[in-house]
Structure 1
């Protein structure tokens, strides 16, 4: 008697994995941005004049800093989210 075939696992899609990892890193970056902002980073010092544009550009800088932190390992949140999304996707 021939044993029944095992259900095949779908082949890993590298582009899907890359999109899942990017989404996880961006989510962690959003969290890190809020944490950095609450810690007082990203607020222009009053010595620069305090113009409205400074706050907007400070926000851009904070976005980029948080994203780079997340992409360089951050606090590990992105990896946990990525693994969870990947397991859910495979399940």
Structure 2
């Protein structure tokens, strides 16, 4: 069955305490909190600010990996997957 995958783009990251913060940082921070290395307030602040918009998880985990694989296999339009959600596609 002919198929074309249309990816929605990846999430923009946010900032917390003046630093870059994305969902991967929150995952790491959860472990740091469990070890007593950061406070619950810091973990909560990171989690509230890590995702700055729509799109698939910014980490190279599930959806992004699928989108990249689909493009590599010719199942998605060339150049359509590594695009930030809610942004214009970069020019040539």
Which is strand-richer, 1 or 2?
2
TM surpasses 0.5: no
Which is helix-richer, 1 or 2?
1
TM-score, structure 2 length as denominator?
Answer: 0.32
TM-score, structure 1 length as denominator?
Answer: 0.32
